[in-house]
């Protein structure tokens, strides 16, 4: 075999210490290494594709995903069955795009999954293609992960030799920007344009790649689909809660004893989720849920809250792409947020007003609050500017940045008052906890 068995072990995957077991990562824990095609076929067999690609033959698969209650694991948590049905019922042949870009710097789940179980993802893509009547699958990865791009191309070639997939699978290496993982960015690049978000409508499910109805799904979502097709919706629902079924991959970092990628049931209390990483390594001040587009919440308010969309929505947060960062009490949340906002401002597509003018202004104000000597009008100005960002851009970039800034002002209200009264705290000059990349690197100017 020449597939991903040659890939190095992901530095982020960790052996589970809790009672929850694994599903997506079961093969990894069974063998201690990535699954090549021989390992995958011996464990799961070939993907259970319908014998005839007709609407009648694929309807059971769509119904199974609907009954399972699978939602997207890329951040939006949209019902996957509804997406499948919408594209399947569109006119003409469709396309499938598997999104493995994972542009969120604090997330490593998709990279890890593609390292250790690539054929589970490719099975899901093949099944999705059958369900929607697609003529091709496009797997999108960031150009910065060339080793993984090569491994996935070898895995696809192994499957072609074994005649596992009924439609061609193309592996693409895209420019790596924060906004390049947005579904319209992928479609735009696959159609020969820049990897920047495009205004909608039409949405990709209406006119996407080659102007055909296009299903865009996160790679973790597709791997779950492959298991549902084999074991059924009741099996999938045997983990999680009735309103938040199944398991999910989470990236736990910051002040936890064993940072890594873990698989947990949906709806687990947040304190128990952190417990899979050994629990906090020091007293916590706040928790960031959802990554750089996420929400800051005071740690003492969230440990009993269940990691599910409905529960977190009551706090103005959500599971997002499974990113959870534990911020130690001694860290400065304002400085952490200022660093992220500066990165997000530099990473925008610069196509519309909120990203060209509004987001840089918010980032500058937040930097002044965190590290400067703020004037008495700064807080009112900052809150006003933050409120003007959401809902006005071509994509969700300004919305996510606004959410991060607004929740930081609430979660770190005591620090805001201290910084306004006495200037920056000592912790504002410490090494950041959040993994903020260098936004000035040369590749950040590439869009094609």
Q: pLDDT of 248-264, one tens digit each?
A: 999 999 999 999 999 99
Residue 318, pLDDT score: 92
- Assess whether 172 and 47 both reside in one domain: yes
The 10s digit of each residue's pLDDT in 1-51 is 333 333 444 556 654 434 566 799 988 888 888 999 999 999 999 999 876
Q: Which of 148-157, 314-323, 375-384, 438-447 has the lowest mean pLDDT?
A: 438-447
Distance of CA 178 to the CA centre of its chain: 11
Whether residue 446 is contained in a domain is answered as no
Residues 337 and 227 in one domain: no
> Domain ends where: 237, 265, 288?
237
Calculate the average pLDDT of the chain. 91
How many H helices and E strands in the chain? Answer: 19, 11
Residue 257 lies in a domain: no
Q: Range of 21's domain?
A: 4-237
Provide the pLDDT for residue 1.
34
Q: pLDDT by residue (tens digit) across 284-339?
A: 999 999 999 999 999 999 999 999 999 999 999 999 999 999 999 999 999 999 99
pLDDT in tens, 51-100: 655 554 568 899 999 999 999 999 888 999 999 999 999 988 999 999 99
Number of Cβ within a 10 Å radius of residue 414: 10
CA atoms of 172 and 149, how far apart (whole Å): 8
How is 433-444 classified by DSSP, letter by letter?
Answer: SS----TTSGGG
Residues 6+ apart with CB under 8 A from 236: 68, 69, 70, 224, 227, 228, 245, 246
Mean pLDDT score, 107-128: 97
Residue 200, pLDDT > 80, answer no
CA distance 143 to 151: 13
Strands (E), 183-340: 214-218, 240-241, 244-245, 247-254, 260-265, 284-289, 295-298, 323-328
**Helices 55-68 and 219-231, interaxial angle, to 10°?**
100
Triad 33, 114, 270: Cα angle to 5°: 90
Report strand pairing: 240-241 vs 214-218: unpaired
User: 203: which residues sit within 8 A by CB, 6+ positions away?
Assistant: 184
Q: Residues 203, 346: one domain?
A: no
Q: Which residues of 224-262 are buried (b: 16+ CB within 10 A; e: fewer)?
A: bbbbbbeeebeebbebbbeebbbbbbbbbbbbbeebbbb
Instruction: For residues 376 and 232, state if they share a domain.
Output: no
CB atoms near residue 438 (< 10 Å): 8
Q: What is the dihedral of CA 155, 447, 190, 172, to 10 degrees?
A: -10
Could you tell me if 58 and 200 lie in one domain? Answer: yes
13 DSSP assignment? B
Q: Give the whole-number percent of the chain exceeding pLDDT 90.
A: 79
Same domain, 55 and 184: yes
Full-model pTM: 0.93
Tokens of 284: 């916590």
Average pLDDT over residues 164-187: 95
d(CA 383, CA 402): 10
- What is the three-class DSSP state of 335? helix
Written as six digits, the tokens of 384 are 């006003």
C-alpha pair distances (Å), 123 with each of 59, 243, 285, 352, 372: 18, 26, 42, 38, 52
Q: Which value, to the nearest 10 degrees, does the dihedral of the CA atoms of residues 118, 215, 182, 396 take? A: -140
Residues 25 and 170 in one domain: yes
Query: Residue 163 carries which DSSP code?
Result: T
Residues in the chain, total? 448
CATH number for position 232 = 3.40.50.11540
Tell me if 85 is assigned to some domain: yes
Q: Which residues contact 335 (CB under 8 A, 6 or more apart)?
A: 370, 371, 424, 427, 428, 429, 430, 432
Query: In this predicted structure, what is the pLDDT of residue 369?
Result: 96
Q: What is the CATH number of the domain that holds 385?
A: 1.20.1440.230
Distances in Å between the Cα of 102 and the Cα atoms of 18, 31, 144, 158, 363 are 26, 26, 11, 25, 23
Alpha-carbon distance 358 to 360, whole Å? 6
Instruction: Looking at the structure, tell me whether residues 340 and 221 fall in a common domain.
Output: no
Q: Which residues pair with 99 in a beta bridge?
A: 140, 218
| 360 backbone φψ class: left, alpha, beta (φ>0; ψ -120 to 50) | alpha
**280 lies in some domain:** no
- On whether residue 254 sits in a domain, the answer given is no
The number of folded domains in the chain is 2
Task: Return the number of other C-beta atoms located less than 10 Å from residue 11's C-beta.
Answer: 13
Q: Is residue 147 part of a domain?
A: yes
On the question of a cis peptide bond just before residue 251, with omega within 30 degrees of 0, the verdict is: no
Let me know whether 9 and 122 are in one domain: yes
């Amino acid at each position: 075999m020449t597939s991903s068995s040659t890939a190095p072990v992901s530095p982020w995957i960790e052996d589970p210490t809790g009672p929850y077991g694994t599903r997506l990562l079961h093969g990894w824990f069974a063998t201690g290494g990535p699954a090549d095609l021989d390992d995958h076929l011996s464990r799961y067999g070939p993907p259970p594709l319908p014998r005839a690609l007709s609407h009648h033959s694929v309807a059971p698969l769509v119904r199974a995903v609907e009954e399972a209650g699978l939602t997207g694991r890329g951040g939006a948590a949209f019902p996957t069955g509804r997406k499948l049905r919408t594209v399947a019922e569109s006119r003409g042949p469709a396309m499938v795009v598997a999104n493995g870009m994972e542009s969120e710097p604090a997330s490593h789940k998709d990279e890890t999954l593609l390292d250790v179980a690539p054929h589970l993802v490719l099975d899901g893509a093949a099944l999705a293609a059958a369900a929607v009547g697609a003529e091709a699958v496009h797997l999108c990865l960031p150009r910065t992960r060339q080793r993984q791009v090569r491994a996935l191309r070898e895995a696809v070639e192994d499957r072609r030799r074994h005649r596992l997939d009924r439609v061609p699978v193309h592996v693409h290496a895209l420019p790596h920007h924060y906004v390049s993982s947005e579904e319209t960015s992928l479609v735009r690049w696959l159609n020969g344009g820049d990897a920047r978000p495009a205004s909608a409508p039409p949405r990709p499910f209406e006119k996407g790649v080659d102007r055909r109805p296009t299903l865009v799904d996160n790679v973790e979502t597709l791997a779950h689909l492959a298991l549902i097709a084999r074991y059924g919706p009741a099996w999938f629902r045997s983990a999680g809660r009735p309103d938040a079924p199944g398991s999910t991959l989470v990236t736990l970092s910051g002040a936890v004893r064993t940072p890594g990628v873990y698989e947990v049931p949906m709806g687990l209390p947040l304190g128990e989720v952190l417990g899979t990483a050994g629990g906090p390594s020091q007293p916590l001040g706040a928790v960031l849920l959802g990554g750089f587009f996420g929400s800051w919440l005071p740690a003492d308010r969230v440990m009993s809250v269940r990691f599910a969309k409905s529960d977190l929505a009551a706090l103005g947060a959500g599971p997002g792409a499974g990113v959870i960062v534990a911020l130690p009490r001694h860290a400065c949340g304002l400085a952490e947020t200022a660093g992220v906002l500066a990165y997000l401002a530099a990473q925008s597509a610069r196509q519309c007003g909120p990203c060209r003018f509004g987001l840089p202004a918010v980032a500058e104000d937040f930097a002044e609050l965190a590290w400067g000597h703020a004037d008495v009008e700064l807080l009112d100005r900052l809150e006003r500017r933050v409120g003007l960002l959401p809902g006005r851009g071509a994509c969700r970039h300004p919305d996510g940045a606004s959410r991060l800034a607004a929740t930081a002002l609430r979660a770190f209200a005591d620090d805001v008052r201290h910084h306004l009264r006495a200037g920056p705290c000592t912790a504002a000059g410490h090494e950041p906890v959040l993994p903020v990349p260098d936004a000035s690197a040369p590749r950040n100017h590439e869009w094609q």
